[in-house]
């Protein structure tokens, strides 16, 4: 008896996810809610680090997602910021799907695109549920890499009202290149490149952080307009003191309060975690209000859960099976 193994390359995944931003956001919302209901198993991710390179890491994210998903697997994702100097992507990843009945591996899938899509969908979902303005015209981006490119794509799919973009990157050339890509991609969008993060915070009430920062560099949020929503995707940009002064929403409290995230540092500083008001799933399920106050600053800090990778990865896998994509190996297992 053979147990075929399907392999999806990056191009297969890209085709499977193309122009499906709203579907992906819905799948991510459902995955969050199944996890919040307790029908999942999500061990803490494991960080493989290197003594000679503190910025680089490879992370293992095992997960099981129940309910109608019934999925098990693991994502193995590397983040090597110095890859930019080699002209190769910072992140690379692979996912393995296992049968929940036999444990046998069923698919190996290129996962950097899945990881980016689920991260962007999570950010856009956070904006949709947390931001008080249903029709924002301006969005700010701090960090001009691939993740914020994807987040902007999902935000544009969420808000047709977006006409202004304010961006910052520690590498000015990256910011200029990012701006040109989006001028070509979205005619009519007004794009400003700023030289300081505070200038972005001052001009946009909806801001996404997606940087490679390993420790806080934003110590003061006083520049933010009233009612700002900060999508703190890179997790380590904002100081503990600033975090403690905000309305904080996460994806999973236990996961968010580890690995030296800003939320983790804030919990250590405060000696408790009560400053985290709720999870995003509490809000999507109607169990918590979208914001603590209309004029305060809300920070969404999603740690990035493996159940999301399973849910979005399975979308790609189903599409590939339906369209005859990928490579099937019949004799992979003994």
Which residue's structure tokens are 């490149």? 193
Both structure tokens of 166: 């304010």
Q: Is residue 195 part of a domain?
A: yes
Are 146 and 91 part of one and the same domain?
no
**Does residue 220 share a domain with residue 243?**
yes
Which residues lie below 8 Å from residue 19, measured CB to CB, with a gap of 6+?
A: none
Within this chain, do residues 18 and 140 fall inside the same structural domain, yes or no?
no
Cα separation, 313 vs 93, in Å, equals: 12
Nearest to 292 by CA among 203, 227, 240, 238: 227
Task: Note whether 29 and 135 are same-domain residues.
Answer: no
* Angstrom distance (rounded) from CA 127 to CA 139: 11
**Within this chain, do residues 158 and 257 fall inside the same structural domain, yes or no?**
yes
> b/e string for 105-136 if b means 16 or more Cβ within 10 A?
bbbbbbbbbbbbbbbbbbbbbbbbbbbbeeeb
> CA–CA separation, 132 vs 145, rounded Å?
27
DSSP 45: P
Residue 334 within any structural domain of the chain: no
Find the angle CA(77)-CA(81)-CA(84) to the nearest 5 degrees.
115
Do 146 and 181 belong together in one domain? Answer: yes
**Do residue 191 and residue 269 come from a single domain?**
yes
pLDDT value at residue 334: 87
Q: How many domains are contained in the chain?
A: 2
Q: What is the pLDDT of residue 271?
A: 97
Residues 93 and 79 in one domain: yes
CATH number at residue 296: 3.40.50.720
Stretches in the chain below the pLDDT threshold 50: none
Report the candidate in 118, 140, 310, 147 with the shortest Cα–Cα distance to residue 234.
147
Sign of the alpha-carbon torsion through 241, 260, 254, 227: positive
Provide the residue range defining the domain that includes 245.
Answer: 122-304
Shared domain check, 155 and 58? no
Residues 280 and 125: beta-carbon distance below 8 Å: yes
Residue 7 phi, psi dihedral angles, 5° rounding: -120, 125
Same domain, 280 and 147: yes
The answer to the question of residue 315 being in a domain is yes
pTM for the model:
0.95
Share in percent of the chain as helix, strand, coil (round to 5): 35, 25, 35
Clarify whether residues 187 and 296 are in a common domain: yes
**Gap between the Cα atoms of 178 and 185, Å rounded:** 11
CATH number of the structural domain spanning residue 37? 3.30.1780.10
Please check whether residue 276 lies inside any domain of the structure: yes
Contacts of 289 (CB under 8 A, 6+ apart): 283
Are 135 and 225 contained in the same domain?
yes
């Amino acid at each position: 008896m053979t147990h075929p193994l399907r392999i999806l390359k990056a191009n297969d995944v890209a085709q499977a996810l193309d122009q499906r931003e709203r579907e992906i956001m819905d799948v991510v919302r459902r995955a969050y809610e199944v996890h919040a209901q307790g029908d999942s198993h999500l061990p803490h991710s494991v960080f493989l680090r290197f003594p000679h390179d503190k910025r680089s890491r490879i992370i293992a994210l095992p997960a099981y997602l129940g309910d109608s998903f019934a999925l098990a697997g693991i994502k193995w994702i590397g983040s090597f910021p110095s890859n930019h100097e080699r002209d190769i992507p910072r992140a690379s990843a692979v996912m393995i799907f296992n049968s929940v009945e036999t444990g046998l591996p069923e698919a190996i899938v290129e996962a950097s695109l899945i990881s980016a899509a689920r991260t962007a969908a999570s950010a856009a979902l956070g904006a949709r549920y947390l931001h008080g303005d249903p029709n924002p015209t301006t969005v700010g981006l701090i960090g001009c890499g691939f993740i914020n490119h994807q987040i902007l794509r999902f935000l544009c799919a969420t808000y047709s009202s977006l006409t202004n973009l304010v961006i910052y990157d520690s590498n000015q050339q990256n910011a200029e290149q990012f701006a040109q890509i989006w001028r070509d991609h979205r005619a009519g969008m007004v794009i400003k490149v700023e030289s300081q993060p505070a200038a972005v915070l001052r001009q946009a009430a909806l801001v996404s952080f997606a940087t490679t920062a390993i420790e806080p560099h934003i110590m003061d949020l006083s520049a933010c307009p009233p009612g700002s929503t900060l999508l703190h995707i890179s997790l380590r940009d904002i100081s503990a003191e600033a975090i403690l002064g905000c309305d904080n929403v996460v994806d999973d409290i236990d996961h968010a309060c580890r690995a030296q995230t800003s939320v983790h540092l804030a919990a250590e500083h405060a000696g408790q975690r009560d400053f985290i008001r709720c999870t995003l799933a509490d809000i999507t399920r109607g169990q918590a209000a979208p914001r603590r106050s209309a004029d305060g600053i809300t920070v969404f800090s999603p740690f990035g859960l493996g159940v999301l990778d399973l849910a979005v990865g399975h979308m790609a896998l189903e599409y590939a099976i339906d369209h005859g994509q990928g490579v099937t190996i019949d004799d992979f297992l003994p």
